[in-house]
Amino acid sequence: MKSEPGSNVPNILPDGVVSLSDHEHHARMVLDDAVWAYFNGGAADEITLRANTQAWQTIELLPRVMRPLAGGHTRMNLLGREWAHPILVAPMAYQRLAHPHAEQATALAAAALGAGLVLSTQASTLLEDVARTVLPEADRGPLWFQLYLLPDRGFMQALVQRAEAAGFEALVLTVDAPVQGARDRERRAGFRRPADITAVNLAGRVAPTPLSLLPGQSKLFNDLMTHAPTWDDVAWLRSITRLPVLLKGVVHPDDARQALTCGAAGLIVSNHGGRTLDTMPATATLLPRVLQAVAGDAPVLVDGGIRRGTDVLKAMALGASAVLVGRPVLHGLANAGATGVAHVLRLLRDELEIAMALTGCRTLADAPGALLTPG
């Protein structure tokens, strides 16, 4: 019998946890069945969910030997600042479901480990509180705020102004989820978000009034999709903020080029962790196509299925500027709060350094090309 989320307030790392896979195994024993389905489930038959991890595993590394590695490091530059390493925490909603310290614990761990943090619009912690946790840390990574474009533009503008005032350094606009995917596992488990866990940063927004439908009309296409964002909304968002705007969920080369035309400061190749459209290709497969379309005119990041430091190195070798990690962070959070998240991020950083040393990479600039076996 599993406990209710966070009822035992775990803060000590379980014995025997030495990998992200171990974290996942232990988190399964901590979390309620329905919460587990919400965090770990994907859309429909979960083909894309499985493909994300498998795709990184099938890319092979081709090591070089006897190369000078003394003084090597994982540092890199992006959006005008130097990062200690190319690992960010992806935006994930309602982290209070995993642990009562929620996004505060994740933020504390990310700041301490020099990892970037992308806070979800649907966070269960106020964005100002998260910023106060992260910003004083001298060696912290970047602090970004994720958005969904809502029909209430007045509320959206106020939310963006709050993020700017709090000290967030970029906006990440999710563009690949105008509607929720058919998440069968979640529905089978009967997941219902507890009433006391809410998207606190969205308090006060005005939801659009449902339209009256004629016989035969679709609730999705004739009502909900009348509010779906378009490229014009991207231009509007850029017009109301001084922060760089990255688009998350761009996977088609034509969309990548359109995003740059609209002034996007960067792209995140993502299939929403396999939670929206099933049978999409894995992000490791999609990344090279987007990079080719962008042709170096903007940074391209990637998420989805990153479970090892070797995966991080492979992403960098393909040409990514950085990676985002999602579910493993939630597993660490469920297992041991901030300590668990910090352990997940430390494992990835350590494994990345090991992989670099064993493939002859003194810095991440050495990664592209020579690491991948010819295919």
Q: What pLDDT is attached to residue 8?
A: 56
Average pLDDT over residues 167-179: 94
Long-range contacts from 128-133, C-beta under 8 angstroms, 24+ separation: 128/162, 128/166, 129/104, 130/103, 130/104, 131/166, 131/167, 131/168, 132/166, 133/104, 133/107, 133/108
The phi and psi torsions of 366 (rounded to 5 degrees) equal: -85, -10
Average pLDDT over residues 60-82: 94
**168 within 8 A of 119, measured Cβ to Cβ:** yes
Q: What pLDDT is attached to residue 92?
A: 98
Q: Dump pLDDT digits (tens) for 248-277.
A: 999 999 999 999 999 999 999 999 999 999
Q: pTM of whole model > 0.85?
A: yes
Determine how many CB atoms are found less than 10 A away from the CB of residue 90: 26
Q: Dump pLDDT digits (tens) for 235-247.
A: 999 999 999 999 9
| DSSP, residue by residue, 208-257 | PPPPPPPTT--TTTTTGGGG---HHHHHHHHHT-SS-EEEES--SHHHHH
Q: What is the distance between the alpha carbons of residues 256 and 264, in angstroms, rounded to a whole number?
A: 9
Tokens of 295: 């042709």
Determine how many CB atoms are found less than 10 A away from the CB of residue 150: 19
Instruction: Tell me, yes or no, if 343 is annotated catalytic.
Output: no
**355 within 8 A of 309, measured Cβ to Cβ:** yes
- Residue-wise over 13-31: b if at least 16 C-beta within 10 A, else e? bbeebeebebbbebbeebb
**374 within 8 A of 51, measured Cβ to Cβ:** no
Q: Dump pLDDT digits (tens) for 123-144.
A: 999 999 999 999 999 999 999 9
Choice among 26, 272, 331, 343 that is catalytic: 272
Q: In the CATH hierarchy, which top-level class contains the domain 21-202+228-366?
A: alpha beta
Q: Dump pLDDT digits (tens) for 20-60.
A: 999 999 999 999 999 999 999 999 999 999 999 999 999 99
